[in-house]
A and B are shown apart, each in its own frame.
Chain A
C-alpha cells in the first residue's frame, strides 16, 4: 500500500528508530506479566524501557482496556494512513477516535489481547505511538498549513521533520530515561501563532533578519497547575543551528540535579530560576559561541484556526474541517480519506492544534462538491462553533479526570450554534477535566476546568486568555448544566457592549473587572 507520498512527512526510512516489533512485543508481554502476577514480576529496567510508548490504561465500567496515542509529524497523514486509523478504530476501538491538540490521534477501548496488533499496524502504516506520552520529547506542534498557506512567512515543515527525526535518532539524549520530564517544542512561521509556541518548553517562531530566514525563541512555557507563558529570549537562530540550540537547552536542564524531582522538573521552572539572560549565557557557553541578537517579538496577529476555504500558494485551495471537540469516528475518517483521494490533487490531511482537520490541494472546480460532501459525511462543516472548541479527553478515558468535558463541549457547541449566530465572533473555548490542563484552558478566551464534587460536575471559569496570556478566573463551581448559558450570556454582553465592531473579545474583557465579567456571565448584559 502507498502510505507515503511526497507531500507527507512519512517515517518509512530507517523506521525501526520510531518503534519496532521487538519493543512492542516486550511492552505487551510486560503488561500481561503485571496483569497476571502483579508489580513485583516486572523487572524495573524492563518497565523503564517501556516508558513513554503512547499506551494508556483506561478502566471503563470496571474493565481494563488501553488507549493508544498516535504521533504524527506536523499533524500530517496521507489518505491511506487516515483510512487505516479509521479501520483500526472500527476493528479494535468501538469506532471512536480522538483528534488531539498535539496534532495526533488517539484510539481507545483496545483489549489487552489486541494491543500488540494495534501497535504493530500503526508502525506498519509509517506512524508510531513511541514518544506519545511520558517523559519524552513530545510531538512538535506546528501550523498545519505551513507549506501551502499564503500568509506563512516561510515553510517550517522540513525543519519539523528534521528535529523529530533527530529526537528518535538520539533517543539516548532525548528519550524517557535521558530527560527529567516531558519536553515540548513548537516550531512555526504562522503569523497567527496557531500552534501556541508560548505554552511550550521551547517555541521557535519564524522571523527574517536582514533577509535571512530563522527563528527567535520563547522559552519556559507550560500550563498545568502552574501556568507559564514562555519568555522571549531575544536571539536569532538559523535553521541549521536549531538542533544544537535544543540540545544545549536539554543538556543544561539535565545537568542540574535541582530539576530531577518531578514537581520541579519542567523547563519552565528552570527559566524561572535562571531568567532568560543567564540561560542564554549558559547556552552560549555550551555552543561555544555567541547567539545573534533579535529584539523584536513577533506577536500573534490574532486567532486563526485555518477553518473554511483558503487559497494555497500553488493556486489550489485548502479546507479546514471542524471536528466538534476533537471527537471523530473511524467511519468519518475513512470517508474523509476517500474524499481526499477523489476530489484533491494529491492532497493530504492535517491535524490542527485546535483538534480539527485540514484538507489540502483541492482544485477550485472541486470546492463546491467537496464542501457538500463534507456536510454529507457528518462533519459539522456549517457549525460556527465546532472548530473553536477544544476539549481534553477526560472521563471515561483519562484516569485523572472524573468529568465528561467532551460531552459538555458538544452541548456548548449546539447551544451557541443556536443562540450566537453569524461569523462575527472569533472566540476560543477550551475545556479541561483536571489541573493538568491537557485542554489548555488557561490560554482560551473562555476556559473551563472541571471537577466532580459530591457527584456533581462543577467548573471553574477563566476568561481573557490568549496565545501569550493566562486567563483570569471569574467563576468557581459553576454547575455543568449552567455552563452553556453562562457562556452565552457573556458572549451576548460582548456583542452588545463592544466599543467598535472589530473590538476583540480580549479587548472587551480587558475593559472590565473580574466582578463585572462575572456579573455578565450570570446575567448577560442587563446589569449595565
Chain B
C-alpha cells in the first residue's frame, strides 16, 4: 500500500494556504490519498469545503493539538 502524501501547510497563511492546497491536490493522481496539515480552523474549513466542491472525497477532518489534519482522496 502506498503512503499518503503529506502536504504540510501549517506555516502558510491566507491567501497562500488555499492556493498551495489547490496546486498540491491538483498534482495528485486520481485515487491518491493526501493528508493536509493546516494551522487554524478557518483554513481547515476553506480547504475542506473547496476540496469537496471539486469532487474530492474528504475522508476525515481532525484536530490534532494546535493544528488540523484533513485526509482526502483525489477524485
* Chain A interface residues (CB < 8 Å from chain B): 30-31, 34-39, 42, 44, 47-48, 50-51, 55-57, 59, 62, 64, 66, 133-134, 261-263, 399-402, 434, 436
9 tightest A-B CB contacts, nearest first: A39-B20, A399-B46, A44-B11, A57-B18, A57-B15, A400-B45, A262-B40, A51-B13, A38-B23
A48 is contacted by which of B13, B15, B21, B23 (Cβ under 8 Å)?
A: B13
Q: Is the CB of B16 within 8 A of A59?
A: no
Number of B residues whose C-beta is below 8 Å from A? 28
Q: Is the CB of B27 within 8 A of A38?
A: yes
Q: Which residues of A contact B40 (CB under 8 A)?
A: 262
Q: Is the CB of A39 within 8 A of B50?
A: no
Name the CB-closest residue of B to A135.
B13
Instruction: Sample 11 A-B pairs with CB under 8 A, ordered by A number.
Output: A39-B20, A39-B21, A50-B13, A51-B14, A59-B53, A62-B54, A64-B19, A66-B15, A261-B66, A263-B41, A400-B49
Q: Which residues of B contact A37 (CB under 8 A)?
A: 23
Q: Is the CB of A39 within 8 A of B12?
A: yes
How far is B42's CA from A57's CA once the two chains are assembled, in angstroms?
13
Interface string of B1-42 (1 = CB under 8 A from A): 000000111011111101111111001000000000001111
Q: Which residues of A contact B19 (CB under 8 A)?
A: 31, 34-35, 57, 64
Q: Is the CB of B27 within 8 A of A436?
A: no
* Chain B interface residues (CB < 8 Å from chain A): 7-9, 11-16, 18-24, 27, 39-42, 45-46, 49-50, 53-54, 66
Name the CB-closest residue of B to A41.
B20
Q: Which residues of A contact B23 (CB under 8 A)?
A: 34-39
Known A31-B19, A262-B39; judge A38-B49 contact (CB<8 A). no
Q: Which residues of B contact A39 (CB under 8 A)?
A: 7-9, 12, 16, 20-21, 23-24
Centre residue among B14, B49, B53 by max chain A CB count within 10 A = B14
Q: Is the CB of A47 within 8 A of B12?
A: yes
How far is B15's CA from A50's CA once the two chains are assembled, in angstroms?
9
How far is B66's CA from A400's CA once the two chains are assembled, in angstroms?
20
Within the complex, the shortest CB–CB distance from B44 to chain A, in Å, comes to 10
Within the complex, the shortest CB–CB distance from A353 to chain B, in Å, comes to 22
How far is B32's CA from A303's CA once the two chains are assembled, in angstroms?
54
